[in-house]
Amino acid sequence: MQASQPNPKEEYTYAGQPGQDVPSFDAKRPLPARVQPKPRYVANLAMHRLVPMPTQTPGSPPVPPAPGITGVLEAMAKIGQTPPQWMPANLTRCHPDKFSDNFFVERRLNGFNPGKFKRVKHQPWQYIIRYDCTKYTVEEGGILPSLIEARFKLEDQALYLDSIEFTLNGETETHVPGDADWEWSKRLFRSAEFVFQEIQTHLARTHMNIGQYAIAYYRNIVNNPIRLLLEPHLDGLLNINALGASLIFGNTGFIPEASALSPQEVDNVLKDEIRRLSYRNWSPAGYALKDYVHNNNFDPAAKSVWEAFRDYVSKFFETHHAGIKTYWSEVEGMSRDLVTHSILNPELGTLAIANINDLKQLCIYMIFHCSFFHSWVNNKQYEDGGDIDYATIGLWDKHNPKYDPSAVAQKHAKQVTLLWTLSNVYYNPIMEFGSPDLKEHLWKRRESIQPGLPLESIMMSTNI
């Protein structure tokens, strides 16, 4: 490092307390030049931005210039339409049978919250998906079951919805297809799933989980050649995570505003998830269905992409072995920062990078989550969440004295406009901006990847 260059440890400082708060870049500090959004990113975002961006406040970093689609909201207000009426159609609005049980199964397999099926024994059904909210307090007037479980039968290599059980206001009910509350049960499930999709899968697993590796990386990696491998996959992450601190979560964020969880409870769900996440011994195979299911497109795609990244990273390590070793002290610094700030449950070990195999595993894990996995869970948000009738992140009790129809309408407007923006910024597709070697690995596997996600929808990095 040259003397004139700033010390990365002074530029990239952590927010909060080590070991207590989710390790992340302090969003109150200015973004260092190395991670500021590039003009092309600003342009890409502006083309799809319908939601107001946070304004700069004293002591906070500058907000990037993003003029957005000016005048749209005003024009629609004049003709008396609300955003859920005039927003572009999504997948479910174009699906004639969107409330069918078959489509319910299809979206659990291939929609915005994949990889959640668990195999069970000694039951009339073989798989469940369960969301557990017992630890978290639901806001008054909000409807969110403390527990909800969808059960699926496996027959002839296909899954069929068997029943849904939920506990709401202390009462447990079980419903089966065709009974009076069957459609309500599915709506309740879709809403609970939406809450957990946004907090655990999207925000925690991709943005904040990888954010903890990113800040440790930027504080330490200066000359090590893994910079060539990793940095293109971190493009935009610290910027969007800093924006997300006010736009998505925090006191003014979309999730606490539109769902039945308070900002504090959203933070608790997020932290509880980060405590479970480690790069060690992780691969998508651990979460895949245990049986072949003919329309399961996520698991084969995830497995194939994982193998592509594994081969790509292995080749990179062979080529750059000497350089990685020469600058190993930087990796040791990254490892120290990771361990010091980690909130990982101690029973799961540590995030230390003890040797070159650990580093290789970490690189595959980071690239997988920055690109394929984020692209899946982010870009499919509008497919499900762009239709309030189909899925809403917050359900509200109309009989509650505090029920306010105009406030609920605003929550719905925020849901569809924000998800539109988040799902449509296609910055740095991997098949355009990836290295030739990376593109080749993915292209030759396209038949197993594409039924789940078109290659052109996979971005290099988590930047929105």
Chain contacts with Fe ion (rule: CB under 5 A): 378
For Fe ion, the closer of residues 146 and 378 by Cβ is 378
For Fe ion, the closer of residues 110 and 378 by Cβ is 378
Which residue in this structure is represented by tokens 């990847």? 449
> Parallel, antiparallel, or unpaired for β 118-119 and 127-132?
antiparallel
CB of 237 to Fe ion, least distance (A): 10
For Fe ion, the closer of residues 163 and 378 by Cβ is 378
| Helix, strand, coil content of the chain in percent (nearest 5) | 50, 10, 40
CB of 2 to Fe ion, least distance (A): 35
Rounded (10°) CA dihedral 62, 64, 66, 67: 40
Six token digits for residue 42: 């600003």
> Which residue of this chain has its Cβ atom nearest to Fe ion in the complex?
378
For Fe ion, the closer of residues 133 and 237 by Cβ is 237
CB of 354 to Fe ion, least distance (A): 31
Q: What is the CA radius of gyration of the chain?
A: 22
| CA dihedral (106, 110, 113, 118) positive or negative | positive
CB of 194 to Fe ion, least distance (A): 15
CB of 462 to Fe ion, least distance (A): 6
d(CA 390, CA 370) in angstroms, rounded, equals 28
For Fe ion, the closer of residues 92 and 378 by Cβ is 378
For Fe ion, the closer of residues 191 and 463 by Cβ is 463
CB of 112 to Fe ion, least distance (A): 11
Asked if 415 and 198 count as a contact pair (C-beta separation under 8 A), the reply is no
For Fe ion, the closer of residues 166 and 254 by Cβ is 254
CB of 378 to Fe ion, least distance (A): 4
Q: Which of 80, 88, 78, 79 has its CA nearest to residue 50?
A: 88
| CA dihedral (312, 315, 319, 321) positive or negative | positive
Q: Which of 430, 414, 325, 415 has its CA nearest to residue 376?
A: 430
Q: Which of 464, 18, 370 has its CA nearest to residue 219?
A: 18
